[in-house]
Amino acid sequence: MLENHIVVIFGASGDLTRRKLLPALASLHAQRLLPERFAVLGVGRTPLDDASFRQEMASALPRFAAHLPAEAAAFVPLLHYQSIDTGDPAAYEQVKQRVYGLCAELGIPHNCLFYLSTPPDLYPKISACLAASDLNTSGDGWKRLVVEKPFGRDLASARELNRQLLAEWREDQLYRIDHYLGKETVQNLLVFRFANEIFDSLWNHRYVDYVEITSAESLGVERRAGYFDGSGIVRDMVQNHLLQVLAMVAIDPPGNFDATSVRYETLKVFQSLRTLQDADLARSVVLGQYAASSVRGQEMAAYRAEPGIPAGSRADTFAAMRLFLDHHRWFDVPFYLRVGKRLPTRVTEVVVHFRKTPHPAFGVRGGAEAQQNHLIIRIQPDEGILLQFGLKEPGAGFHVKPVSMDFHYSDLADTRVPESYERLLLDCMSGDATLYAMGEAVEKCWSFIDPVIAWRESGEAPLFGYPAGSWGPREADALIEADGHFWRYPCQNLASGGEYCEL
């Protein structure tokens, strides 16, 4: 049972609040998972009062939480708003008065979860101002601080942010969020591996040939030009989401499924990332940017022609990389990451390619790839798992035909795969940090990514063009094919695949 508390969201009039945070809270409310006495205080620069904030959020809910019943509107009266200049330390007294006032109305201790969903350059300021108003102390109730991504833009800035936060807050009060860890299917990687001995015992360099992790989006940069162009996809997606998925694939079994053990094992994966340097970079990393094209009759603009993007931008909208873990379990097993905007479809999946049988006694239809077992763990959409194996083709001879067994979450009657923010908010409310990143882990990810970013920013890294709506530059195929390996070309539907599948 959760303790009664208040959630205070900084950046309350922003996109994340309306698209993700409030829909997640409304959904928890509809499932009766919130505490009995609970309120949300939105804080932002936009001048709104409780009534206008409620009205805005009430009109956003049906758009961003379409699964919720009409009764979900009962959540809206729990919302409150305080407009302040977040850069002015004196203004935090108003936040304090509102928080204390709400707690008094509800008759609850000063338990508070502060959520930083503002532009990241405000994180140090807000966290310090909260502390200066004593809103970081636990004496009269617990205080937790959730920090949205991006957590820094390189190792130095991430270290500095950790230093600034830790000057006023204890590590156990800090929740560094990566919404990929809140995805049911990412968490299932742990259960799938450690609750199924048949897979766990094969999960190492003796049986695994290589692993692919793909996260594709069909959308372009949308309305986030300012942020994205200063970031690029390596910072935006690889440093955090893809490395977290990699950690869940590669992690050793933790002694317990508590925050300390899981996060410690995750850190070990990041510590084992083999640094990419000098010549490795050109051999192991392909960066790309989408060019104009026409997809299924629709004209797609080049990245550089998107609103707000400078004409000569060299931001990466695609990245493919080969990496290794210096780790007994994964000795010499390549992990290939592929991520991009304006790819043919939106899909995130992990493909584990098992080694070929030592002696190919049978004729296999379908080429070299068909001689291997593949396990596809679909993170989104059509969430599920598919195992490919060889079967004797009925009839004369002993020809092997690749077939598959698949499981789709949608087959579980009455089960909705919850939004990642629901799970993560609920965990933080109950003080469980298992699915949140430790400061040291975030720094390790940056120290792996920093050389890639420095290479890109030095201007030495080639930036390959690819037509919007394609699977990225040809060089990304060359990267994996140089090792005798192949990308899977996923479709929306887990069971389909192949370069020319219907999207």
SS3 call for 203: coil
Q: Which is nearer to ligand BG6, 178 or 209 (CB)?
A: 178
Asked whether the beta carbons of 338 and 214 are under 8 A apart, the reply is yes
Place of tokens 């629901």: 422
- Shortest approach of ligand BG6 to residue 183 CB, angstroms? 7
State both tokens at 271: 């510590």
Beta strands per DSSP E along 427-497: 463-467
Question: Which phi and psi angles does 318 have, rounded to 5°?
Answer: -145, 140
Tokens 């009109």, residue located? 59
Cβ closest to ligand BG6, residue 110 vs residue 304: 304
383 binds ligand BG6 (CB under 6 A): no
Question: Minimum Å distance from CB 231 to ligand BG6?
Answer: 8
Say whether residue 419 binds ligand BG6 (CB under 6 A): no
Q: Is the dihedral of CA 45, 50, 54, 56 positive or negative?
A: negative
CB of 318 to ligand BG6, least distance (A): 13
Instruction: Return the percent helix, strand and coil in the chain, to nearest 5.
Output: 40, 20, 40
What 3 state SS string does 209-249 have? EEEEEEEECCCCCCCCHHHHHCCCHHHHHHHHHHHHHHHHH
Least separation, in Å, of the C-beta of 43 and ligand BG6?
Answer: 22
The residue annotated as part of the active site, out of 179, 241, 353, 374, is 241
Per CB under 6 A, contacts with ligand BG6 among 333-362 are 348
Decide whether 44 or 232 has the Cβ nearer to ligand BG6: 232
**Using the rule CB under 6 A, is 236 a contact of ligand BG6?**
yes
Nearer to ligand BG6, 81 or 448 (CB): 448
User: How many Å apart are CA 366 and CA 211, to the nearest integer?
Assistant: 20
CB-nearer residue toward ligand BG6: 151 or 210: 151
Local structure of 367: helix, strand or coil? coil
CB of 237 to ligand BG6, least distance (A): 6
By beta-carbon proximity to ligand BG6, the closer residue of 169 and 290 is 290
Strands 384-392 and 363-364: unpaired
Q: Partners of 81 in the beta sheet?
A: 42
Alpha-carbon gap, residue 170 to 142, rounded angstroms: 12
Are 39 and 4 in contact by the 8 Å Cβ rule? The answer is no
Comparing CB distances to ligand BG6, the nearer of 217 and 229 is 217
What minimum distance in Å lies between the beta carbon of 80 and ligand BG6? Answer: 28
Pairing of strands 399-408, 384-392: antiparallel
Sign, CA torsion 100/102/106/110? negative
What's the residue count for the chain? 503
Residues 155-214 binding ligand BG6 (CB under 6 A) are: 179
Considering only 148, 209, 212, 217, the residue that binds ligand BG6 (CB under 6 A) is: 217
Is the peptide bond between 254 and the residue preceding it cis, with omega within 30 degrees of 0? Answer: no
Instruction: Assess 56 for contact with ligand BG6 (CB under 6 A).
Output: no
- How many amino acids of this chain bind ligand BG6 (CB under 6 A)? 5
Alpha-carbon separation of residue 350 from 32, 189, 489 (angstroms): 34, 10, 12
Residue 502, classed as helix, strand or coil, is coil
Report the residue closest to ligand BG6, judged by CB: 236
Is 67 tagged catalytic? no
Least distance CB 244 / ligand BG6 (angstroms): 11
Of 127 and 218, CB closest to ligand BG6: 218
* b/e sequence 359-370, b meaning 16+ C-beta within 10 Å: eeeeebeeeeee
User: To the nearest whole angstrom, how small is the minimum distance from the Cβ of residue 348 to ligand BG6?
Assistant: 6
* CA angle 67–149–336, rounded 5-degree value: 90
Interface with ligand BG6 (CB under 6 A): 149, 179, 217, 236, 348
Q: Which residues are catalytic?
A: 241
